[in-house]
Amino acid sequence: MFKLTKYSGNPILRPDPSRSFMEFAVFNPTALALGGKVYILFRAQSYELESTMGLAVSPDGFTLEYVSENPVYVPREFFEKRVVYGVGPVGCEDPRATLVDGIVYVLYTAVGDAYDYVRVALTSISVSDFVEGRWDRWSKPIPISPPGVWDKNAALLPRRVKGKYVIFHRFFPNIWVDFLDNLEFRGYWLRGFEFFRVRPGMWDSDKVGIAGVPIEVSEGWVMIYHARSAYDGAYRLGAALLDRDDPTTIISRLEYPILEPIEWYETEGINVVFSCGHVVLDNKLVVYYGASDKYLAVAYGDLDELVGELLKQQGA
């Protein structure tokens, strides 16, 4: 059985009353390993429940040497702003970052209070601008999922598959996949088809969504996903192995979760572990996650061991 090991220094980031943009919560991070450091782009929430994105930098994947004093990404468009002065959450939630050909693409959940639904949005920035912190260089965000429906938890694969870009996303309650010729989204919304479904009676019975961007290994794509249970409402993390040439083909899926909310920082009010990103450091899978929708934490495990466990359950 494969289980992620929780870092003894968790949580690695907590809400900070001295920084108003992250005074209420810091959670649901994505991550990129660049130039020997790990860049952690996390969802930050103020007491007004506006979500922006902050940045933390780690020299080793666990300890933090830098946390931004201000948001590095903020709501800019009508579909992600507070426009009717309500009291509910708004902003830019749960980013998932992918590096493709020198460009950092970030897909996130855009929440505006003028609608009764949320959408997936896309922005990008060159990797050099990202590393140097030139945050005025973000591209204009565009909504890429259709209006009128809830769509969340989107991630872009780091390379084309059979000439197509691949985006995973979640129309409730299952994971869908879309194959695209380009990322311009002119006259096109994410649709695709569902391929990864909830399992009634199991720990992932209520809803499932992709965590970080799937990791390519020789055996396929390792996909970490989150799921909520219908019987206790808790969010846990699981793992599956997808085919390299056809990621809609599920080679294997673990029967059990690899990370569960047990520690105090994961159960403070609500039982949640929720990841939007991970990195691989010297074959160590390092998973960043939001704990109880308030803290930022990290867990780790051997990637080869996880692949081996997935292969053991192949066809089971």
| Domains in the chain: boundaries | 17-312
pLDDT average, residue stretch 50-77 = 98
Is pLDDT at 314 greater than 90 in this prediction? no
Compute the distance between CA of residue 86 and CA of residue 48 in angstroms, rounded to an integer.
10
pLDDT per residue over 81-98, tens digit each? 998 877 789 999 999 999
pLDDT average, residue stretch 223-240 = 97
Compute the distance between CA of residue 93 and CA of residue 209 in angstroms, rounded to an integer.
14
Is pLDDT at 117 greater than 90 in this prediction? no
Q: What is the pLDDT of residue 299?
A: 98
Q: What is the pLDDT of residue 114?
A: 86
Compute the distance between CA of residue 179 and CA of residue 166 in angstroms, rounded to an integer.
5
pTM score above 0.95 = yes
Q: Where are the alpha helices (DSSP H) in 175-251?
A: none
Fold of 17-312: Tachylectin-2; Chain A (2.115.10)
Is pLDDT at 315 greater than 80 in this prediction? no
Whole-number percent of the chain with pLDDT over 70:
99
pLDDT grade, residue 316 (50/70/90)? low
Compute the distance between CA of residue 160 and CA of residue 263 in angstroms, rounded to an integer.
39
pLDDT grade, residue 207 (50/70/90)? very high
pLDDT average, residue stretch 194-200 = 97
Query: What mean pLDDT value characterizes the chain?
Result: 96
Compute the distance between CA of residue 110 and CA of residue 8 in angstroms, rounded to an integer.
33
DSSP 214: P
